Structure 1
Amino acid sequence: MSTIPLDRPAVRPRLPAPTAILALLALAYGIVPLVGTDYLFDALLTPFLALSLAALGLNLLTGYAGQLSLGSAAFMAVGAFAAFNLELRLPGLPLLASIALAGVCAAAVGLVFGLPSLRLRGFYLAVSTLAAQFFVTWALTKFGWFSNDSPSGVIDAPPLRIAGFTFASPAERYLFALTLVAGLTYLAHRLVRSPIGRDFVAVRDNETAARIIGVPVLRTKLLAFALSSFVIGVAGALWAFAYLRTVEPHGFNLDRSFQILFIVIIGGLATLRGAFLGAALIVVFPLLLSRAGQALLGSVFDSGAIEMTQRMILGALIILFLIREPDGLAALFDRLKRRLLPQR
């Protein structure tokens, strides 16, 4: 039985044209660091990159492989705490190796909690992945070893240092996150175009048909969980090291898992661009609403009422958007591109 509607496009791994990619990279690397402010890097761009990477990992699992998960924040937490402990207990280990091994730790945990996918599907599988969310938070809070016996459970992330250079300023941390996200996005692009990506899509569309044509369904599901959790674990390390610069279990709660899932749905399933488009809406739009609410209603209502109003407006806009465009922002982007640049 399919977990994703069969009328959805089978796979949309295409990235924009190479010229557009080069232009975006030139803008991100060359112009933004020169004109951006510390507030722009700390409040917008760095969390945008970390959440985009987490959504990219979840999209590999949900959009391409068709396996629902509500434990993304747990895998982010595993990546963040694993990277912290690797840096703390193995002082000579390079930072990039620590982050990569943290992703491997998250992949191992994701593999364990992906085992129910061998028996469960759809919403039953999604509910079973909640076990990861609750278990990881409990373990990180219960055992002080993970937080270096910090009484509060909150620990300072180590500095981002590579080959003697420290990424200390907001702009430098942004560039570090950008480089890591760009590299993993390229690898994800290659993955979904490979035979592994085609196996993901076959399992998503129809498990029985995939098994008949020789796709190893069980192995493909577990591989999807492992690869997805690896990417999300790296995103968790970025969230802690480059953005928050602190690590605490309750920062990776169930709300964070839903936020990542909403990014995937709003951006578009089975499309790499959707992770970035959805993250842009989720990160940037609430901030714009907050600024507008303070300017227009700050003298009339208190901050709590304004925040609740912002959430109601954001939720209503998301519902209206999904009714009008259920395939997400990526489909809307493709439609606009076809209208502006008609194919000959």
Structure 2
Amino acid sequence: MRLITTIIILCFFSNTFFAQHSYIPFAQPNKFWFYRIFNNHEPAPQSENAYALWTKDYTTIEGKEYLNVYRSYLKGTHPCQFPPCFSPSKPYIFLDTIKIGYLREDTSLRTVNFLSEFISQEECANSEHEVLNFNLNVDDTISKCFRLQLGGEDKVWGPYGAIDSIEDSFIFGKVRKVWSLTVLSIYGMPHITTTRLIEGIGMDLYNVLNFTPEHNFIDFCEGDLFQCHIASSTNITRTSEIKLFPNPTNGIFKLDGIYEVKEARMIDISGRSNLIKVTNNEIDILSYHSGVYYLVLTDRNNHQYFNKIVKF
């Protein structure tokens, strides 16, 4: 009798627990998403680098409140005989920090918009656009802009991003609604693969905020640095504290606002980072293609500075 009573109580609390499930917002401070960058090497893709996206503080733009989104590359090693095979260190260690854009969420509609600091190949992604919709039903599709970034509608494979099924699952410490959908995988021969859209987290395959299919999700955490096993984080220095001139540039420009550069990196729109030389506060990027880049500088005190530079 006591056993039956216990089972009834457990069933009651289990049903109550799932019935009381309420919406988990996506755009909240102190959330961390971790990604690996893969190449399209044959016969198997190789891991080249890794980074974290994370959120902190709010910014007001044209009367609207946005959540700031940052990206930090991760320290790691290539523990294999034939690299690349990048594996991030644990606990995670941030090597740099740049702002990549802004999030705005409508919790009543359960939609998430993103305003990027980067220039995308898809025109729709160069202004504020919907990246996530946590109010979809079976046979609905993800946003038109994100479908375009995934590949649009292919004659062979058909439309991408259609919702196949919806369920509740216990993921990263919470009961979350989960949508299954199909996307195109670029690795090897192109093929359709199934991924999940997870409430409060996003997609468990791609980075939807600064989209590129080579960036694959590996981990998620929400909380402070200690809770998320992050050993250190770099200082965030505002863009206004460093000046680049001329900007736009034909390839040679000067710096103002930083003393003794220890390291300088150029980051392109795909997220790839390259070391560059600074000579007498002057940088030469004549060999770079035209486009928009981020310059990330580290001074002798390990403070980070960043700004956008346009090469024409």
**TM-score range normalised by the length of the shorter chain:** under 0.3
Larger Rg: 2
Higher RCO (C-alpha 8 Å, min separation 6)? 1
- Structure having the higher strand fraction is 2
The two structures have a TM-score, normalised by structure 1, of 0.23
- TM (normalized to structure 2)? 0.25
Q: Which has the higher helix share?
A: 1
